[in-house]
Amino acid sequence: MLSKKVYQLIVASSLILTILFFYPMIAEAHRMIIEHVDDRVIQVRYDDGTPAKLAVVTTYDADGRQLFKHEVNDEGYLDYEHQSDVHRLVANDGLGHRASSIQEDTNGMEGIPVFIRALLGVSFLSFIGAVFYVRTRKKK
Amino acid sequence: MHVADGVLSISIAVATTAGAVGVLTYALKGTNEEEIPKISLLSGTFFVASLINIPIGPTSIHPLLGGFLGLVLGRRAPLAVFVGLVLQAILFQHGGISTFGANMLLMSIPALLIHWLFTYWKSPSLFWKGCIAGFTAIGVAVCLLIVLLLLSDARYGSGSFSVIQIVLVSYFPLALLEGVLTGFALHHLASIKPYLFKSLTEKGGE
C-alpha cells in the first residue's frame, strides 16, 4: 500500500498538472489532420477546416511497404477506392505539416459478435468478483 | 458520452489524464478485498449500460449510471468507471486513448459529487435520492463535457445547431429517464440488501 506521503505527492502532482495544462499558450502554428469521411475516402485539412490543397498522401500496407503516393484535390480529398491493403496513410504538405492515420481494421475484434464481446466483459468481471467473494468468505 | 480521439486539444487531453490519475488514486486509497465483489459487479453494470451507444457529432450518448454508482459505491465509483472504460476500449473500441482521462473524469466526477452530496443530505427517501442522483449526475456530466469541448475549440458552441446544443437537447430526456430508473433501482435494492445503504439513511436501511 502507498505511504501517506507518496499518496499526497501523487494527488498534488495530478492537481498541479491538471491546472497547468488547462491554460495552454496560444500557438500560431496549426496542425494538419487526415479525416476519414467515407470508406476509402479521406480529406486532408488543417485544424481550422482549411483544405490542405498541397498535401501529398503516401500509403503503406501493414508491413510498412509503400503502396502509392498521390496528391489530394483542391478540396483536400483523396479517393483510394481501388487500392486494397492500405493500412496507414501519411500526408505531407511540404510546408512542415505532417499527419498520419491508420485505416480502421474491420477484421479484428469487430468480427466477433457484439453479444459475445459483452458477455466476455461481464464474465471477466463476474469471475473477479466471485474470486474475491470466496476469499473474503473463507477469511470470515 | 465517450469523447473520441482528436476531439479535445492536446493540452486538455493531458490535463484530464492527470486529473484522472488523481481521481483514481483517491478512489484506490483504502480499498479492501471485501469491496471488490461489489465494485466488479457494478463495473459490469456500467459496462453493459454504456453499450447502448448513440453517436452524435464528436461524442455519443448512453446511460451513465453515475448517480447509481455514486450512491452504491461511494468513493470507489471511479474504480468501476475505470475498469468499465478499459473493457469498452479493448472490446468495443469505444472512446479514445488520448481522451481516456477525459472520459474517466466525465463519468467519475458526477458519481463522486452525488456520493458527497448524499453523505450530508440524508432527509429524502431512497427513491427520491435515486431520482435526484440519476438526474443530477447526467447534468453534471453534460456540464463537464461542455466545458471540455469549449476549452478545446470554441467552434463546438457556435451556430444554431452546435454540438453543445445537440448534446444538451439529447441528454435531457436521458437525464429524466435515468433519474426515474435509478430511483426505482435503489428502492428495490434497498428492500433486498438494506445494509448497502446504511451510510445514506438515518437508520440502517429503509
- pLDDT tens per residue across span A13-71: 777 766 665 555 444 445 778 888 877 888 888 877 788 888 889 888 888 888 888 88
What is the reported pLDDT for A99? 80
Which of A1, A10, A14 is the best substitution to test chain B (most B C-beta atoms within 10 A)? Answer: A14
Q: Which three cell numbers stand for residue A32?
A: 494538419
Q: Please state, in angstroms and rounded to a whole number, the distance separating the CA atoms of residues A67 and A34.
A: 18
Q: Do B29 and A114 touch (CB under 8 A)?
A: no
More confident residue, B154 or B132: B132
Whether the per-residue pLDDT at A91 is higher than 70: the answer is: yes
For chain B, give every domain's residue range: 10-200
Q: Do B16 and A24 touch (CB under 8 A)?
A: no
Report yes or no: A7 at the B interface, CB cutoff 8 Å.
Answer: yes
Q: How confident is the model at residue A12 (pLDDT cuts 50, 70, 90)?
A: confident
Task: Decide if B36 contacts A139 (C-beta within 8 A).
Answer: no
More confident residue, A26 or B141: B141
Task: Decide if A102 contacts A87 (C-beta within 8 A).
Answer: yes
Looking at residue A125, its amino acid is L
For residue A122, give the nearest of B11, B34, B48 by CB distance. Answer: B48
Q: What is the mean pLDDT of residues B7-34?
A: 88
Q: Please state, in angstroms and rounded to a whole number, the distance separating the CA atoms of residues A59 and A70.
A: 9
User: What part of A 49-88 touches B (C-beta under 8 Å)?
Assistant: none
User: How much of chain B exceeds pLDDT 70, in percent?
Assistant: 80
Return the closest-CA partner of residue B189 out of B64, B47, B38: B38
DSSP code of residue A37: E
Q: How confident is the model at residue A106 (pLDDT cuts 50, 70, 90)?
A: very low
Vertex A13: Cα angle to A8 and A14 (nearest 5):
100
Phi, psi (deg, nearest 5) at residue A90: -125, 125
Q: Which three cell numbers stand for residue B161?
A: 445547431
Q: Do A132 and B40 touch (CB under 8 A)?
A: yes
Report yes or no: B47 at the A interface, CB cutoff 8 Å.
Answer: yes
pLDDT tens-digit readout, B22-79: 999 999 988 888 889 999 999 998 888 877 766 655 556 678 888 999 999 989 999 9
What's the distance, Cα to Cα, between the start and end of chain A in Å?
22
Q: Do A109 and B93 touch (CB under 8 A)?
A: yes
Which of B10, B28, B41 is the best substitution to test chain A (most A C-beta atoms within 10 A)? Answer: B41
**With respect to CATH, is domain A32-104 assigned 2.40.160?**
no
Return the closest-CA partner of residue A59 out of A39, A37, A33, A40: A40
Q: Do B91 and A7 touch (CB under 8 A)?
A: no
- Residue A122: list chain B partners with CB under 8 A: 44, 47-48
CA A103 to chain centre: 11
Chain A closest-CA separation from residue B125 CA (Å) = 29
CATH, domain range B10-200: 1.10.1760.20
What is the reported pLDDT for B157? 63
Whether the per-residue pLDDT at A119 is higher than 60: the answer is: yes
Whether the per-residue pLDDT at B173 is higher than 70: the answer is: yes
Sign of the alpha-carbon dihedral angle for A98, A103, A104, A105: negative
Q: Do A18 and B93 touch (CB under 8 A)?
A: no
Chain B closest-CA separation from residue A118 CA (Å) = 7
Q: What is the mean pLDDT of residues B132-156?
A: 83
Whether the per-residue pLDDT at B154 is higher than 90: the answer is: no
Report yes or no: A8 at the B interface, CB cutoff 8 Å.
Answer: no
Q: Do B92 and A109 touch (CB under 8 A)?
A: yes
Q: Please state, in angstroms and rounded to a whole number, the distance separating the CA atoms of residues B101 and B107.
A: 10
Cβ neighbours of B13 (radius 10 Å): 24
Q: Please state, in angstroms and rounded to a whole number, the distance separating the CA atoms of residues A90 and A102.
A: 9
Residue A36: beta bridge partners? A42
Cβ neighbours of A121 (radius 10 Å): 23
Phi, psi (deg, nearest 5) at residue B43: -60, -40
Mean pLDDT of chain B: 82
For chain A, give every domain's residue range: 32-104, 110-139
Report yes or no: A20 at the B interface, CB cutoff 8 Å.
Answer: yes
For chains A and B, what is the number of CB pairs under 8 angstroms?
97
Query: CA-nearest residue of chain B to A108?
Result: B91
